[in-house]
Structure 1
Amino acid sequence: MAFEIDILITYADADNQPAESGNGWVTDFKRFLELMLQQVLGEKPKMLLKSEHDSITGGDVKKIGILIPILSPSFIASGECLDTLEEFLKAAKSDFPRVFKVLKKPITFEEQPTKLRELIGFDLYNMDLDTGRIEDYKDFFSTEAEQNFWMKMVDLAYEIHESLISLEQKSKRADVKPLFSRRSIYLAETGHDLTIQRNIIKRELQRHGYKVLPDHTLPQNVNELKKVIKKEVEESSLSIHLIGNSYGEIPEGSDKSIVDIQNQIASEKSSLLKDKSAFSRLIWISPHLNHASEKQIAFIESIKRDMASTEGAEILQTPLEDFKNIVREELIEVGIDKKLNRHTEEAVQNGKVKVYMLYDKLDEKDVEPIKKFIAKSGFAVLEPSFEGGLLTLRQHHITNLRNFDAAIIYQGGVNDQWVRMKLLDLLKAPGFGRRKPVKGKAIISKKEEKLDISSYKSHNIMVIDGSKKDSLDSLKVFLEELK
């Protein structure tokens, strides 16, 4: 059934007293939200204000799609406001949110109505960081409001947009089971420094039809928290983690942050999956860590070096805009499968066993004789690309990771860390949709000091001493085994 009222905003009278502009805060909030929703929905929604003393009946409640309670100390103290909320919650049983809590004043978790605590809140007050003083945004169109208030309002508008679409679909297809469910993505909670950036990515994913989890406030107790995260990561086919300067909030009963715990749980899922293409992870690490604490630096280093925490993951330490472009390319605009079709056809057309030769540009000349030797031995040689932008280079690399049969990493002028990162790329190749086993992996190293790959001993990697004259003989043995 279609609702007579799309959105009802309920509030305490004290929060809508006329200001200098002539309107009360709630009235201006409704007008501003109406404008934003009109842009997002393409049409003006049916919105209504309800003060604490306006009466509402059970029958009227069923005609409302979404409720926005304006939370404040006055709202919490008002029996009428709480009754309206309770009446709506009774009628609005749903598997997606139909209540969006807006905080006009700070309200602690414990002070909030029990059924609203787990919902994500939209804080629409201004806090002076120097004095700690809380103020309303008096002018919704001021520069200050544009920088802080508008971003939260845009978030709210997109969340409401999602819910209204779901309500409309449910109304039209009440008796029809959907043929497929939307793909879920776990967009991990971040430290305070990346909250806005996370919300931008979240909105873009939602606009393109993805269900983004978590879609509620996470529990504060570590045991409950882990249960919820595990459940939602299990529902997802991808997790995205943004790591910045802030280590993040530490829940009760834990010495690890929520950011850390989410990464650990996503890693555990990756390690247990036989089909690595069923779940993948994107981890972005800020290239600017000047203000990171020692604990955060240690956490970041552990992500980079710990095989367990990076299994099935792609780690990128690039400018955030580049990372957003990668997310957009991979999940939104084209989808990685469609993007790589042309390259896939080129890679398999000759029917030969394909050897991916991984090397750095500074070793390009040294690698030439090795590539010729491999080609003369009857193999197709896949190579890295060094021309083009970040997205082009990455797509080329992923194409090769999906299609190689065997891989050889060449170490000439590069350090051991570079080699380990390339090994990690090979091991996480299934996360990019690879469907066939790897026939062989080898490293050709010209370094005098022996390369330590003891942590990879279970992965059957052949190490060839590239400084010896008979190194090509060792390479020949490796190639023969591929046949």
Structure 2
Amino acid sequence: MEFEYDILLAYHTLDDQPIGGGEKGWVTNFYRFLSTLVEQVSGRPSKIKLVNENDSHVDLYNSSATLVAIFSKDFLNNPTLINGVNLFASSAKENGSLQLGGISRLYKVIKFPIDVDEYLPDYSDILSYDFYQIDSLTGEPQEFRRFFGNEAERSYWMKMVDMAYDIHQVQQKLAELSTEQSSVAEIEKDKTIYLANSGVDMIIQRDIVKRELIRHGYRVLPDQSLPKEVHSLEVAVKRDLESCCLSIHLIGEDYGYTPRGSELSVVDIQNKIASQYTYEVHEKNKKKRGGDKFSRLIWLSPDLKNVTERQKIFIEDLKSDAAALDEAEVLQIPLQELKSIIREELVTGGRFKAKEIHEDRSLPDEGNIIYLICDQLDVESSQPIAGYLKEKGYNVVTTLFEGKLMDLRYLHQENLRRCDASLIYFGKSSEDWMKTKLQDLLKAPGFGRTKPMKVTAIFAEDMDKVEQQNVQLTRTMILGGSGFTPGALDPFLAKLEN
């Protein structure tokens, strides 16, 4: 397909009024930034044509590879602009090129919340690019008018970069079609990820994860706007999940919006359907010894503060549900760590591969098993304790540090599932490290543990570094205070043998 213009940028002149007394308006800035980013991504300048309600532009819509429409009330109430969008979209739909590789040639830019679907119902399934932010305190939408502030850098520029990459991908697909190389290739299931919708407070984090997945060659679903009615929504979610090997759910303080006909939010509905699908795949594999791979990663923001009672109940339900299956896991870790875990899950085969590698590694069935947990900084210092416990006849398993991240995580969780007692050695490591290990003790039922531990303890070189409140939450006894002596472990062993 040959086109005169790479991008047709349609807007209403009232949306390009000077901002803050300056000479340049919102659309002018948008055009400048987009043209620069598309050139950086594609490595060549793009032919971009600006068009507004005063232009005679029927031929322009037919001669453009992509259409970027900046929607506003003025745009949507203008028959000339709306007719132009319909002309472009209907023409592309007729020749089967409106969607290429899961990306639309029509880019719906929304600079302030407005129901575009009311005016363009035939294209409601096309994802929009929301160039506004929601105030976390008031819940009110705010239009971006400053383009280089901190929030703008995190939201406006992320959307702009995503759009530039999407336009470049469409340009590549159109080039393939024009040279008759191929049509849209079928993307394999193990390269397709379901990234569930999130509340407004997790939009930035979701965009970060989505962008990283796409950059590494993964297809991310849903790649269309979700239906606003609950039954149609459920059908769409289930259909997308069946094409994926992994679903990712990012949970924050906001419960999410509620579709028509439901009391549950879209975030909640997607989680429930993904949970049910996980069970179905699990049961199918168990009965037919199938090899279908599907798992769920549920990420809870570490910064949860103002959580409503409804959201608390939702989060607790998530944890309880995930605890029942190896294929589901709840993580409350920094976003950077989540991205590493996602890569391991996808690149190495994740927990499935780790389970296959280590399924023959079994913990002893007789005698009390003690899991001695330490940081890599304290491996040498913890050896006298490990040696003493082994001399006393206990089965001691220790933290491993060599191997792939996913393998080590799986073994750590397996040890927490199977051990009778846990002993955390707290020496040179940080207080944050210790808090993480205490959280792991609390999450042990989520790793599949079915019985309570007989005893948990911390052996601390410096008692002042141990925070009492966190320790009490796990009913963990505190030992140590100086160098190791055999008598220091007497309370721990006495409770273990009781």
Q: TM-score, normalised by structure 1?
A: 0.72
Alpha carbons of 1:74 and 1:43: their partners in 2 closer, same or farther (altered >3 Å)?
Answer: same
- State the one-letter code of the partner of 1:360: Y
8 Å contact from structure 1 (residues 385, 397) kept in 2: no
Match of 1:213 in 2: 221
Secondary structure of the corresponding residue to residue 235 of structure 1: coil
Secondary structure of the corresponding residue to residue 245 of structure 1: coil
8 Å contact from structure 2 (residues 247, 295) kept in 1: yes
Please state if 1:409 is matched with 2:404. Answer: no
Match of 2:30 in 1: 29
Match of 2:124 in 1: 117
Q: CA RMSD in A?
A: 4.3
Q: Structure 2 unaligned segments of length 5 or more: list them.
A: 374-384, 424-436, 456-494
Alpha carbons of 1:127 and 1:297: their partners in 2 closer, same or farther (altered >3 Å)?
Answer: closer
Alpha carbons of 1:268 and 1:132: their partners in 2 closer, same or farther (altered >3 Å)?
Answer: closer
Deviation at 1:28, TM superposition (A): 2.3
Deviation at 1:254, TM superposition (A): 1.6
8 Å contact from structure 1 (residues 267, 312) kept in 2: no
**Please, which of 269, 273, 279 is the counterpart of residue 265 of structure 1?**
273
**Please, which of 147, 153, 166 is the counterpart of residue 146 of structure 1?**
153
- In structure 1, what is the Cα distance between the partners aligned to 2:148 and 2:496? 68
- In structure 1, what is the Cα distance between the partners aligned to 2:412 and 2:137? 53
Alpha carbons of 1:105 and 1:316: their partners in 2 closer, same or farther (altered >3 Å)?
Answer: closer
Please state if 1:236 is matched with 2:244. Answer: yes
Deviation at 1:114, TM superposition (A): 1.5
Match of 1:69 in 2: 69
Please state if 1:297 is matched with 2:312. Answer: yes
Question: Where in structure 2 are the equivalents of 1:13-52 lying within 5 Å?
Answer: 13-17=13-17, 20-52=21-53
- In structure 2, what is the Cα distance between the partners aligned to 1:162 and 1:371? 62
Alpha carbons of 1:443 and 1:133: their partners in 2 closer, same or farther (altered >3 Å)?
Answer: closer
Deviation at 1:193, TM superposition (A): 0.9
Secondary structure of the corresponding residue to residue 304 of structure 1: helix
Q: Structure 1 unaligned segments of length 5 or more: list them.
A: 374-380, 428-441, 448-465, 470-483
- In structure 2, what is the Cα distance between the partners aligned to 1:318 and 1:175? 42
Q: Kindly provide the CA deviation profile for residues 181-235 of structure 1, in whole angstroms up to 9, marking residues without a partner as x.
A: 4721100101111111100110111111111111222122111111111111111
Q: Kindly provide the CA deviation profile for residues 23-78 of structure 1, in whole angstroms up to 9, marking residues without a partner as x.
A: 443232111111122222232222111122322345x5443211111111211121
Alpha carbons of 1:371 and 1:316: their partners in 2 closer, same or farther (altered >3 Å)?
Answer: farther
Match of 1:396 in 2: 408
Q: Kindly provide the CA deviation profile for residues 155-181 of structure 1, in whole angstroms up to 9, marking residues without a partner as x.
A: 322332333333334444455684754
Match of 2:399 in 1: 385
Alpha carbons of 1:342 and 1:295: their partners in 2 closer, same or farther (altered >3 Å)?
Answer: closer
Q: Kindly provide the CA deviation profile for residues 339-373 of structure 1, in whole angstroms up to 9, marking residues without a partner as x.
A: 9999988x79xxxx531468532696697479998
Alpha carbons of 1:101 and 1:370: their partners in 2 closer, same or farther (altered >3 Å)?
Answer: farther
- In structure 2, what is the Cα distance between the partners aligned to 1:2 and 1:28? 28
8 Å contact from structure 1 (residues 270, 312) kept in 2: yes
- In structure 2, what is the Cα distance between the partners aligned to 1:336 and 1:255? 39
**Please, which of 297, 302, 305 is the counterpart of residue 287 of structure 1?**
302
Secondary structure of the corresponding residue to residue 360 of structure 1: strand
**Please, which of 371, 384, 405 is the counterpart of residue 360 of structure 1?**
371
8 Å contact from structure 2 (residues 322, 329) kept in 1: no
Q: How many residues align?
A: 416
8 Å contact from structure 2 (residues 326, 447) kept in 1: no
- In structure 2, what is the Cα distance between the partners aligned to 1:81 and 1:64? 15
Question: Where in structure 2 are the equivalents of 1:95-174 lying within 5 Å?
Answer: 95=99, 96=102, 97-109=104-116, 111-125=118-132, 137-141=144-148, 145-173=152-180
Match of 1:462 in 2: none
8 Å contact from structure 2 (residues 192, 220) kept in 1: yes
8 Å contact from structure 1 (residues 238, 280) kept in 2: yes
- In structure 2, what is the Cα distance between the partners aligned to 1:210 and 1:21? 41
Secondary structure of the corresponding residue to residue 83 of structure 2: helix
Deviation at 1:323, TM superposition (A): 1.0
Please state if 1:336 is matched with 2:344. Answer: no
8 Å contact from structure 1 (residues 193, 246) kept in 2: yes
8 Å contact from structure 1 (residues 267, 308) kept in 2: no
- In structure 1, what is the Cα distance between the partners aligned to 2:151 and 2:445? 48
8 Å contact from structure 1 (residues 270, 276) kept in 2: no
- State the one-letter code of the partner of 1:385: T
- State the one-letter code of the partner of 2:222: P
Deviation at 1:16, TM superposition (A): 3.0
More displaced stretch, 64-73 vs 19-28: 19-28
**Please, which of 200, 207, 224 is the counterpart of residue 232 of structure 2?**
224
- In structure 1, what is the Cα distance between the partners aligned to 2:409 and 2:390? 19
- State the one-letter code of the partner of 1:269: Y
Match of 1:316 in 2: 331
- In structure 2, what is the Cα distance between the partners aligned to 1:178 and 1:131? 45
- In structure 2, what is the Cα distance between the partners aligned to 1:315 and 1:131? 29
Match of 2:258 in 1: 250
Deviation at 1:304, TM superposition (A): 1.5
Q: Kindly provide the CA deviation profile for residues 432-462 of structure 1, in whole angstroms up to 9, marking residues without a partner as x.
A: xxxxxxxxxx989656xxxxxxxxxxxxxxx
Secondary structure of the corresponding residue to residue 292 of structure 1: coil
8 Å contact from structure 1 (residues 70, 102) kept in 2: yes
- In structure 1, what is the Cα distance between the partners aligned to 2:315 and 2:134? 31
Alpha carbons of 1:53 and 1:227: their partners in 2 closer, same or farther (altered >3 Å)?
Answer: same
8 Å contact from structure 1 (residues 239, 282) kept in 2: yes
- In structure 2, what is the Cα distance between the partners aligned to 1:322 and 1:114? 40
- In structure 1, what is the Cα distance between the partners aligned to 2:140 and 2:355? 58
8 Å contact from structure 1 (residues 356, 407) kept in 2: no
- In structure 2, what is the Cα distance between the partners aligned to 1:198 and 1:251? 20
Secondary structure of the corresponding residue to residue 9 of structure 1: strand
- In structure 2, what is the Cα distance between the partners aligned to 1:394 and 1:292? 31
- State the one-letter code of the partner of 2:278: S
**Please, which of 325, 334, 347 is the counterpart of residue 340 of structure 2?**
325
More displaced stretch, 87-96 vs 125-134: 125-134
**Please, which of 278, 303, 309 is the counterpart of residue 293 of structure 2?**
278
- In structure 2, what is the Cα distance between the partners aligned to 1:240 and 1:128? 25
8 Å contact from structure 2 (residues 344, 350) kept in 1: no
Secondary structure of the corresponding residue to residue 10 of structure 2: strand
- State the one-letter code of the partner of 2:371: D
Secondary structure of the corresponding residue to residue 242 of structure 2: helix
Please state if 1:202 is matched with 2:214. Answer: no
Q: Percent identity?
A: 35
Match of 1:473 in 2: none
- State the one-letter code of the partner of 2:242: E
Alpha carbons of 1:417 and 1:100: their partners in 2 closer, same or farther (altered >3 Å)?
Answer: closer
More displaced stretch, 94-103 vs 232-241: 94-103
- In structure 1, what is the Cα distance between the partners aligned to 2:168 and 2:249? 25
- In structure 1, what is the Cα distance between the partners aligned to 2:330 and 2:273? 16
